[in-house]
Amino acid sequence: MVATVRATLDDEQFDSAWSLAMTAQPIHMQHFVFDDWDVLSEAAVDAARALGDPARLATALDNRGKYLLRRRRLDKAREVLGEALRIREDHDDERAVCESLNALGLVHLWARELDEAAGLFRRAASGFRDLGDLRWESLALSNVAEAYLEGGDAERALELVGELPTVFQRLGDPAMQGNALWLIAWGQRLRGDLSAASAAIHSAITLAEEASNRMWEAFWLIEAARVHLAEGALDDAMSCSSMAASLQRQIGDTGREALALACAGEVLQALGNLDGAFSFHRQALRMQESVGDAWQSALALANLADCEKSRGDHASSCALSARTLELIEPFRDMRAAALRERLALLADGP
């Protein structure tokens, strides 16, 4: 496919190049085929610009922006998706405008600009509701719930997402059904209802297995590991986090692999293996720094500070805590506030 698209571009067969490149988009988005997605998403933009077709250009830019988002190139993703939104607004394409609002919301979410993200998602959901598109409305509401959960507000998130697995099941969309179940598991874990969290995340993983989708399974296994850790089922937590890390490495998603490694480090901490935990958290930190995720880097640093305090190195723990505070300075949500309280406790002596 890549060779064919390149050949059609070289031959200035721009219509064919755009059509071929965009045909592969669902595969790239569902399975994270990053190398091909990079080449073909850029080719689709080039072909659309050569054609001078605003609608095709906006569609190609949307695809390219989603690739850039998944690779955590957030500034570039914001630029590309913003161009797509402006084109769609200029041509009064209401549905496409709502899709662009949702996509830009994801950029703000990943940048941890949570209020801005939730606002964009709510605008998108309202627009889709006006259009009578239940699937897209529900998808946007799922994203609002994720923004709430990132900020630590489980109650508001669960109010939004509670019925969504049934909606997506009725619509025949297992990806979004599983995503809604993942959100429920996360919210119930934060609330302390581990039985409900476990039931939800294992239902999601079953959907991934039935669809033979390793990308879904790899991500949802991280939440399964967190639930098992909260339950004290440490062997199960380590098994899930190890499998998730292995799958994410095969997929090539560095940020999510780091999430799985961090969870494994927390399991080792709970087992009392502080040296092993420190190694996992240090690797998670390096990987999160490599993808530019300040929040996850801060969490990894806080875990390293915990390990150092438990190992009796108070000076190192304080130094790591200070680095963490610098990283989370821009964040003002409930989870950030809780992390500041945790760091204050770490500084209260050996």
Confidence of residue 35 (pLDDT cuts 50, 70, 90): confident
* pLDDT (0 to 100) of residue 275: 96
The reply to whether 291 falls in a domain is yes
Give the integer Cα–Cα distance in Å for 288 and 285. Answer: 5
Give the integer Cα–Cα distance in Å for 23 and 8. Answer: 14
* pLDDT (0 to 100) of residue 70: 87
Residue 16 has a CB neighbour count (10 Å cut-off) of: 16
The reply to whether 306 falls in a domain is yes
As a whole number of Å, the end-to-end CA separation of the chain is: 59
What's 297's domain CATH number?
Answer: 1.25.40.10
The reply to whether 202 falls in a domain is no
Residue range(s) defining the domain that contains residue 293 = 215-350
pTM of the model: 0.90
Output the CA–CA distances (angstroms, integers) from residue 327 to 118, 225, 291, 330, 335, in the order listed.
22, 26, 15, 7, 14
- Give the CA angle between residues 246, 65, 148 to the nearest 5°: 70
Phi, psi (deg, nearest 5) at residue 331: -95, 135
Number of domains in the chain: 1
**pLDDT > 90 fraction of the chain, expressed in percent and rounded:** 88
* pLDDT (0 to 100) of residue 28: 73
Least confident piece of the model among 40-49, 73-82, 212-221, 339-348: 339-348
* pLDDT (0 to 100) of residue 24: 83
Return the DSSP state at 316.
H
Check pLDDT > 70 for residue 349: no
CB 85 within 8 A of CB 102: no
The reply to whether 284 falls in a domain is yes
Tell me the two tokens of residue 262. 């961090």
pLDDT one-digit tens code per residue, 298-327 = 999 999 999 999 999 999 999 999 999 999
SS3 248: helix
SS3 93: coil
The reply to whether 320 falls in a domain is yes
| Average per-residue pLDDT for the chain | 95
Tell me the two tokens of residue 26. 């669902």
Residue located via tokens 């009064």: 92
pLDDT one-digit tens code per residue, 138-188 = 999 999 999 999 999 999 999 999 999 999 999 999 999 999 999 999 999
The reply to whether 233 falls in a domain is yes
The reply to whether 98 falls in a domain is no
The reply to whether 40 falls in a domain is no
Give the integer Cα–Cα distance in Å for 267 and 151. Answer: 24
Check pLDDT > 80 for residue 348: no
